Amino acid sequence: MKTADFNYPLPPERIAQTPIEPRDSSRLFVYNRKTDRVEHCHFRDIGDYLNPGDLLVRNQTKVLPARIYGKKESGGKVELLLLRKRTDTEWECLIGGKKIREGAKIVLSDNLFALVLTNADSPRRVVRFEGDLNAYLSANGQMPLPPYIHEKLSDQTRYQTVYANPAFTGSAAAPTAGLHFTNELIASLEKSGVEFADVTLHVGLDTFQPVSEDDPAAHTIHKEWCEVDPASAARINRTKASGRRVIAVGTTSARTLETAAQAAIEQGLNEPVAPIRGDTGIFILPGFAFRAVDALITNFHLPKSTLIMMISAFIGREKTIELYQLAIREEYRFFSFGDAMLIL
C-alpha cells in the first residue's frame, strides 16, 4: 500500500469555494455497500435512507476564530493561527512572520500580548498569552478557512454546524459533514424516529494535509482532543445492542467512535464503546476493523489525505477511487463547502 494509491485527478473547478444556500440543498451521493448501488439526490432527502431508531452521532465541537494578527515590538507584522490549547494561557500555534525567535513578544492590543516560548525547530510553536484572549478572539478572530478556499466568507456562521456547542469551542477546522444539517431537517428526522447523540473532537489543521510519506503507515497524525461522555456512550451501546445502526456524521465522529471502541476493548468491557475523554491519534487505514460505525455521512476528501484513506478502509480503496471519479463526472462539489456522501 502506497500513498500514491490514494491519489486522484480533481479539476480545480470542482473545489467548492462558497457554501450553498440553504445548507441542506447540497447534493447527496448515496452508496449502498450491500447492493453496490449508487443514487443521487439532495441532502434534504437523507431521511429517505434512514430508519426509525437509527442513531446519528455528530461532533458538537465549535470552530474557534483562531486566526489573529499582531506586531513584533519592532513593528513587523505577525500572523498567529491557534491550533491546540495546552493550558489556560498556553497554545500551540503556527506563526507567520519574519524571524520570530524564542522569547519574542507579539503585541496584539494594548491589553493582550503573546510570548513565544519555543524556537523555530518545529512549525508548531508554543505561545503564552498575557491578557484576555477569549475577548480578543470574539472581537477580532477570523475563521481559519482551509488553504484551498480562496473566496472570503461573508457569514462566519456558515463555517459552523447549527448544533455547534459553545461549551466545546476548540476546533481549528469545521466538522464539515455536519454543515449540511439545518435545524428544520434535524427536527424532521427526529419526528420520524431518527435519534441523535453528541460527541466531541476538536479538529486540527492536519485534516487538510496530504500524507507526505510514501508508506501511509509511516505517517503520524497529530493528536486531537475528543470526548464521548457516559450518556452518549450508553445511547450508542443501547443502539448497537438492539441491532439498530450507528451512523457517524463525519470522519471526526467516526474517529471518535472508533477510539471509544478501542477503549472498551482495552478496559475489558463487554460493550461496543466506553466513555472517553482525552487525546486520540487514531489513524484508520485499509484493513481496519470498524467496531462502532455502521454507516457514514461524509464529504469528498483531498487526494492522498488521511480522510480518503479512512473512506477506503470503510468501502475499499478501488471502490473509493471509482466513486470519486463518478462524482467528478456528475459534477459534485468537493471538500469543505462541497456536497455530501452517505455510505450505507
Domain ranges within the chain, ordered by starting residue:
3-63+155-343, 67-140
- pLDDT tens-digit profile, the chain (344 residues): 999 999 999 999 999 999 999 999 999 999 999 999 999 999 999 999 999 999 999 999 999 999 999 999 888 999 999 988 899 999 999 998 888 999 999 999 999 999 999 988 777 899 999 999 999 999 999 998 888 999 989 899 999 999 999 999 999 899 999 999 999 999 999 999 999 999 999 998 776 677 889 999 999 888 899 999 999 999 999 999 999 999 999 999 999 999 999 999 999 999 999 999 999 999 999 999 999 999 999 999 999 999 999 999 999 999 999 999 999 999 999 999 999 999 99
Q: What would the grid cell of residue 174 be? A: 469545521
Q: What would the grid cell of residue 327 be? A: 462524482
- In terms of Cα–Cα distance, which of 28, 45, 25, 29 is closest to 37? 29
- In terms of Cα–Cα distance, which of 304, 194, 316, 314 is closest to 250? 314
pLDDT tens digits, 286-326: 999 999 999 999 999 999 999 999 999 999 999 999 999 99
67-140 belongs to which homologous superfamily?
QueA-like (2.40.10.240)
Whole-number pLDDT of residue 178: 98
Q: What would the grid cell of residue 289 be? A: 476493523
Write down the pTM of the prediction: 0.93
The string over 50-78, giving b where at least 16 C-beta atoms fall within 10 Å of a residue's C-beta and e elsewhere, is beeebbbbbbbbbbbbbbbebebeeeeeb
C-alpha torsion sign, points 290, 52, 251, 7: positive
Whole-number pLDDT of residue 220: 85
Looking at 3.30.1330.40, 3.40.50.11540, 3.40.1780.10, 3.30.43.10, the CATH number of the domain 3-63+155-343 comes to 3.40.1780.10
Whole-number pLDDT of residue 59: 98
> Can you tell me the distance from the alpha carbon of 259 to that of 247, in angstroms, rounded to the nearest whole number?
15
Q: What is the DSSP letter of 88?
A: S
| C-alpha angle 197-295-252 in degrees, rounded to nearest 5 | 60
Whole-number pLDDT of residue 208: 64
CA distances from 36 to 32, 39, 72, 99, 300 (A): 5, 10, 57, 55, 18
Whole-number pLDDT of residue 209: 72
